[in-house]
Amino acid sequence: MFKNIVIVGTGYVGIPVAAMFADKGFNVIGINRTKEKVDLINKGLCPIEGDEPNLPELIEKVVKGKNLIATTDYSACKNADAILICVETPFDSDKWEPRYDSLKSALKSIAENMSKGTLVIVESTIAPTTMDTLVKPLLENISKMKAGEDFLLGNCPERVMPGKLLYNIENLSRVCGGINKATQDKMLELYSHIVKGELYPTDCITAEVVKTAENAYRDVEIAFANEVALICEKLGINAYEVRDLVNKAPYRNMHLPGAGVGGHCLPKDSLLLSYGVKGLLTPELMILARNLNKKMPIHTAGLLIDLFKEKGIQIKGSKITVCGFAYLENSDDTRNTPALEVINTLINKGANVEVHDPFVRVYEGLEIKKDFYNSIKDSEALVFVTAHSEYKKLDLNKIKQLMKTPIIIDGRNIFEKEEILRKGFLYRGVGKG
């Protein structure tokens, strides 16, 4: 029987999970190392900006009802029946290895505080074999307890997505990887309180592979769409029309091309999957796809650079406004955002870059404007990197009046090319010849 649940990490994965368990009557404690975020949650406020349906209201409700509190103190683990680990697990492409600093720190603190009989679950995405080679030995060595006997250990990879956090947790199926059947049964019991989708019991390494493979699969599909887009640009046709017609054929579901792939999962999960067989096999297709997707922000900036050359406009000293900094529309999530590569490419060419985003407040000292029309004033060009809903409702006539030169680079198929040209703009778009 579960009563007390601790969630370690209260970001995009942890906070919706915490709120949902709290709403089901569990006593939930969210642990975060940032006191500012802890204080925000304890005031009943949502730490995530952007359009996140029902999450702010749910957090306010469960905090007010005293079913959810936040803290920086790991001693909360002493009375926990279940501990869910929801910390970041980025990948260091230079060293070609996962960065498990946050995971190791969380595991160490949990092991120092947890009691016998606790169910410990890693929801963070990890490379295959990590449960066996890192998580289990670290917990056992520090706690002096044995997994499977003194405590239960499992891996239930998250499947959340900004903008659909609560919906995905409630409705998508989950893989419950446990070190033994007793663990799997307990995981099924726990998650059945908040998940309406199917729950599939399996072992830990299968769960690890499932999560990394499903995101690697999507990254490969996006890479295919991006390569078709590059082909269409050269042939002078519209990749989005091609996509629509391709998808009329049975068993075809071509993804959308665009200015780049961001987020916490897709840019790293194929690398985590590859890392899991390091020394045994060198995957090829997934790495090729990853490298192609990494080039798309540079290509997007290149569309503008080439247009400036064609029209004899000096990019050095020109004001260019990058529209959208979050990696995903209507979100404040900036993790691995392709906008950063677009910005850096333009700055390296000498451009003066302004950045607008309706949801992102700050990013490592980068000034991000909130007033769209003020941010584009006297711009030589606008580069749209994120398909925020706000951008689909813009007054094109007003934009043209405010800009120094009416140039639009469309990285997300926000605009119809013919309409933009009729309005008197110069236009280039990813996948649009």
Per-residue confidence (pLDDT) for residue 93, from 0 to 100: 85
Smallest Cα–Cα separation from 403: which of 341, 301, 318, 343? 318
Given 211, 268, 319, 349, which residue is catalytic? 211
Six-digit token pair at 71? 């803290």
Stretches where the chain sits below pLDDT 70 are: none
Per-residue confidence (pLDDT) for residue 365, from 0 to 100: 85
Per-residue confidence (pLDDT) for residue 50, from 0 to 100: 84
Given 46, 77, 204, 265, which residue is catalytic? 265
Q: Are 255 and 222 in contact (CB under 8 A)?
A: yes
Residue 167 to residues 14, 23, 102, 164: CA-CA distances in angstroms? 14, 14, 27, 5
Per-residue confidence (pLDDT) for residue 44, from 0 to 100: 98
Per-residue pLDDT reduced to its tens digit, 100-153: 999 999 999 999 999 999 999 999 999 999 999 999 999 999 999 999 999 999
Residue that has been written with the tokens 């969210």 in this structure: 30
User: 4-202 with 212-286: one CATH topology?
Assistant: no
* Coil vs helix vs strand at 65: coil
- 265 catalytically annotated: yes
Per-residue confidence (pLDDT) for residue 345, from 0 to 100: 98
Q: Are 263 and 327 in contact (CB under 8 A)?
A: yes
Read off the DSSP letter of residue 389.
G
- CATH numeric code, 212-286: 1.10.1040.10
Per-residue confidence (pLDDT) for residue 250, from 0 to 100: 97
Superfamily of domain 4-202: NAD(P)-binding Rossmann-like Domain (3.40.50.720)
Per-residue confidence (pLDDT) for residue 94, from 0 to 100: 86
Per-residue pLDDT reduced to its tens digit, 2-30: 999 999 999 999 999 999 999 999 999 99
Per-residue confidence (pLDDT) for residue 223, from 0 to 100: 98
Per-residue confidence (pLDDT) for residue 402, from 0 to 100: 98
β-pairing, 174-178 vs 97-98, is unpaired
Q: Per-domain residue ranges for the chain?
A: 4-202, 212-286
Residue 319 neighbours by CB distance under 10 Å: 18
**Residue 161: is it exposed, middle or buried by C-beta count within 10 angstroms (0-12/13-18/19+)?**
middle
Smallest Cα–Cα separation from 175: which of 147, 152, 198? 198
The CA distance from 306 to 312, in Å, is 10
- The answer for residues whose C-beta is within 8 angstroms of residue 52's C-beta and 6 or more apart is 46, 162, 163, 165, 166, 331
The CA distance from 238 to 107, in Å, is 50
Smallest Cα–Cα separation from 125: which of 311, 255, 264? 264
Q: Which helix (H) or strand (E) holds 306?
A: helix 285-311
Per-residue confidence (pLDDT) for residue 416, from 0 to 100: 96
